[in-house]
Every structure is written in C-alpha cells, then in structure tokens.
Amino acid sequence: MFRQNIIITGASSGLGQGMALEFAKQGANLGLCARRTDRLEALKAQINDTYPNVKVWLLALDVNDHQQVFDVFDQFKELMGNVDRVIVNAGMGKGGSIGTGLFEANKQTAQTNFVAALAQCEAAMKIFRQQNAGHLVTVSSISALRGFRRAMTVYAATKAGLTSLTEGIRLDVMNTPIAVTCVHPGYIKTEINDHADGAPFMIDAETGCRAMVKAINKEPANCYVPSYPWAFIQLILRVLPDKMLRKMS
C-alpha cells in the first residue's frame, strides 16, 4: 500500500531529514515539523528543487509542548485532507551514568524520548481512529533490547519503553485498518551520535535512512535496520552475558 501523506517529527536533521528525502523520492507528500524551522525551510527547498510534484508542509513543533503536538497534527490533517502515516521520530540522547549529577540531562532525554513520544502517538492515533485508517511508525533503537551503561542508560530505557508502548498500541488496534510499526535502527551516523565513532557496524545516514524507509513501507510489526547485520545481532543481544554487554557500552 502506498501511503501518500506522511507526517515526520524531528525532520530538521538526522534520521527525520533523511527519511523525508527518501519518501519524497517515492512521491509522497510530507508534513514536516521540528523546532528548527530554518532547517526545515532548507529541506523543503531541496525537496521542491529535486521533486517538484511533491507537496511539503512545514510547521514548528517542540514535542515537549504536548498541546502543541495535538494542535500541529490537527493542522497537518486540515492541510493534507488525510493523514496516511505518522513517523514518531523526534528524540535526543543527552545524559550520563545515574547518580553522577546529570539528572537534568537524563530527565530531558526521558521526557523527550518517551513522554513526548506518547503525546505524538496519542495525537496520531486520534486522527487514525477518526479516519479508521493509517500507519503509526515509532523510531526506537537496537538499544531497546537491553540495559546499557553511562550515556546510554536512560536513552536505552526510553527506547525500551517506546518499543513496549508501540506493541501495546498495535495489539489494541489489531485486525483494524490501522497498522503499527516499531523500527529499531542500529548505529546510523547522525548528529545525535556524532561522538560514537567506535560504534560497531556504523553506517552513514543516507544508507541508514534508505534501509529504514524500505522497512517502513513493508509495514511489519517490528523491524531491525539495516536488516544485515542487526536482525541477527538483535538475537545475540537478547542473550549476551552482562560482562560482554558492559564491554560494548
């Protein structure tokens, strides 16, 4: 099924920006939102120059302003006429080891990656339930499978929560025209992990986003991208001894 009208949050950079370009290449119309509207404008100009038949709508959005999330999604609905897919992508990775004085940064990550994601899911599903159609996509992480240490501790926990939340939503609307997908990217080079040069199997953003869009279009319940090697590695991660897991993080 081709999803014509797609909303992407956190579209001003990283995975959101990359997915927007990939979906535009396929001819999808885009509702793009983020805090940095100047970068959204630049992205829209790039899409319009390359894919002139693609419609692009831009709205400013701070996902931690929960009422604004509902307002922005409703505005996109009015502009598009119908919302076919929402990609809950906005996130961050600040923080550090618990108990080391970084509570505020850890809290900000928790609020942005989980509470704000909940708001986005609520706003998207409200629209989909009204339409009795749509595809909700959440962007989790391979780190959702286990606990990780240091800067990954809270990040991994929020992604685990998002994976569980997405599964619950999917079960709730099973056997309806509403599809729900949780995407678990491996290590993809973006601004959020620009410091992680030693991460295993790291790939560039263009390759990673192409793999994500290909997986999303298949609308599975869960996917690990790129499928090689992460579909295999995720099986190992689930049973990896703690000592080995500690060395990896």
With respect to CATH, is domain 5-248 assigned 3.40.50.10860? no
Predicted local confidence at residue 59, as pLDDT = 98
C-alpha angle 42-74-109 in degrees, rounded to nearest 5: 65
Cβ-proximal residues to 191 (8 Å cutoff; 6+ apart), any chain: 13, 14
Q: Where are the domains of the chain?
A: 5-248
Q: What pLDDT was estimated at residue 51?
A: 97
* The model's pTM: 0.95
The pLDDT profile of the chain, 249 residues, written as one tens digit per residue, is: 899 999 999 999 999 999 999 999 999 999 999 999 999 999 999 999 999 999 999 999 999 999 999 999 999 999 999 999 999 999 999 999 999 999 999 999 999 999 999 999 999 999 999 999 999 999 999 999 999 999 999 999 999 999 999 999 999 999 999 999 999 999 999 876 555 556 678 999 999 999 999 999 999 999 999 999 999 999 999 988 998 888 877
In whole angstroms, how far apart are CA 129 and each of 126, 136, 162? 5, 11, 20
How many CA atoms, within 13 angstroms, populate the side-chain half-sphere of residue 50? 14
155 is catalytic: yes
- How far apart are the C-alpha atoms of 109 and 171, rounded to whole Å? 27
Residues 79, 58: Cα–Cα separation, whole Å: 10
pLDDT at 200: 76
Catalytic residue among 51, 155, 187, 224: 155
User: Strand, coil or helix: what is 114?
Assistant: helix
What pLDDT does residue 178 have? 98
CA dist list (Å): 132 to 5, 166, 175: 15, 18, 12
Residue 214's pLDDT is 98
- Pairing mode, strands 222-225 and 178-185: parallel
